[in-house]
Structure 1
Amino acid sequence: MSSQNNRSFFRIDVMLPCSYHIISEEESIESPLPISPDATYIEKYFMQDLQGLDEQIAEIIEQINQKSNLLAKALTAMNSKINFVLQTIDQKQLTRTIPHRMVNISAGGLAFKVEGPVSETDKVDVLIQPLPEEPPVLARCNIVKVIPESDGTFTVALEYQGLNEDDRRKLVYFIQTKEIEAANQQRGTAKTKNA
């Protein structure tokens, strides 16, 4: 990562709402992210995963229907109920559905584990929620490094690509807040040991 302004690139490990999509370089050129994505764009983009799951569920229910019509009806009803609930979720509630994962984060990039195969030429779109009261940050990232892990996953080190100033401000504020919390904890631990 760039060595400019080292202070803003202070890294911390933290549990954070973070969702991601790995896309090819070609896909990133064909589908650029909007400069200021609104809640509707974010919802549609990250709900693609749910749409794919919905298709899988429909296929499985169809297979179950061949063996048990009653069970298939029950599963269809439950799936319809879940879809109805998802449609009534507002943007603030939607961001609560972002999975939490351990992230090593800075104002210049982040690193975390991913499941699937990944290449350094791929791009990664991340949706992170550093500040609960603020809209989430959606950013396209360049892959700086891919590290295979012993459990079959990969740790990807990412650098934000064209992060807007408002989103960078959110990240710097979040990181500084976490630094202050860590310093206060260390002071508290030191006082306890000296007492």
Structure 2
Amino acid sequence: MSLDHSGNEQERLSVLATREVAEPNRVVRPAIKLMLEKLRPCPAYVLSRTLDVLAANPGGLYLYPGVESWPVQQRNLVRYAFLDPAAKELLPDWEACARRCVARLWALAGTDPEAPDLLQLVGELQIKSDDFARLWQRYYARPPHGRGITHFRHSQVGDIALEYQSMQLEGTPGHRLVAHNGAAASDHDAMVLLDMLGARNASGRPGMS
């Protein structure tokens, strides 16, 4: 596999992290953007194969506080998990969430080890995050399940447990739609508040590409 852990490989990844590379398809179809709106107040977003946030409804973007202020091209859930200090406060089970992120990247490495977007992201995170470097040393034979429950300790809406389901989008290889729903009836009000706050915050922010 090209993504080994040798010194030469890490040096190559370091170079790639600072090099301009061709972007894979980031265009989200209008019908999918409309679907994201129809899913409100359920937080939902579209991810690329390396977990770039390509499109989101208000609650989906605001679910990860601070990421909405990042440049659109930099919005990535793996980058957020490992580089934004707020992530460990937001996710009580941060370690499990971080492992799932790394497992997604390993799954891509198994099918397309020379993917430029993968090499660039891994190279960047190996340089900037000791936690990522530690977890990347492990080999994840299987990608994480596309469904489950994530607990959030959100600074604006409090503790909330959300079920999530992810699905591949036909016609745009590598794109996945992820939708969340309240795990219990008590989580619904928090989800509605999240959507309202996200919509208010989005009115002063640049849109998704």
TM-score normalised according to structure 2 size: 0.29
Structure with a larger share of its residues in strand: 1
TM-score normalised according to structure 1 size: 0.30
Select the structure of larger CA radius of gyration.
1
